[in-house]
Structures are given as structure tokens and as C-alpha cells.
Amino acid sequence: MPESRDRILIHRLAVFARHGVLPEEETLGQRFYLSLEARLDLGEAGRCDEIGATVSYADLAGLAHRIATERRFRLIEALAETICAEALAAFPQLDALTVRIDKPSAPVPLVLDGVAVEITRTRHA
């Protein structure tokens, strides 16, 4: 079955969390931005105009927000991996999910706008 070209996009969901390797990151916390690109067939939802034929972007965003705020990860790679795994398990309609975690206040002693990790996981891989 080919991967769907249809997408649900969630851009830069802001969360305050305590992820990071350094003790200060756990103590102080910081803002992160979560972006998700869910791939699934949206044809039926477009034809029938019923929420049950799609994945609610509110539910998908809520799942990502809960994981990011209720758990602590040392690596944003682990946060992204957990969001992908749990979303694919929770929403069987998803063919694939791309998760991007932006960490604008990364403790790097250089002038930069931030760092990010982006991963894609597919159901059929």
C-alpha cells in the first residue's frame, strides 16, 4: 500500500518542559516547539465531512503535548521517538508521522537561533 500524500500539519505547538542533559535544564525548564506532519488518507473525511473518518488534529496535538509536558527526556531525539511511537499506536489511520522538536534556548555557547531534531516513522516500515 503506497504512503498517502495527504497530510495533517501541526505547526510549532509551544510547550514548557524540562528536557535536556544539563541539571539546569531540569531545574529551570524552557520552551520547546513541536511540529507534526501526519500522513494518512483524507479522501473519506473530505467526502463525508465526519470527524470519525480522520484523525483529530486536536487529539494528535494533545497527545504530543502530554508526552512533552508529563515526562522528562534527556534527549529531544527520545522525545520525538516517543511521540511517533505513541501516535502511531493510538491512531491506526496514520501511515506515517514526522515530528520536529525545536529547542530555541539550547545551552550552546555559540550564537544561534536554536537547534532541532526531525524524525519520520512509518507504520509499514
Residue positions annotated with a catalytic role? 103
d(CA 8, CA 96): 11
| Furthest-apart CA atoms within the chain: distance in Å | 53
CA distances from 63 to 35, 48, 49 (A): 12, 25, 23
> How many beta carbons lie within 10 A of that of residue 6, not counting itself?
15
State whether the Cα torsion 29-61-1-42 is positive or negative. Answer: negative
DSSP state of 53: G
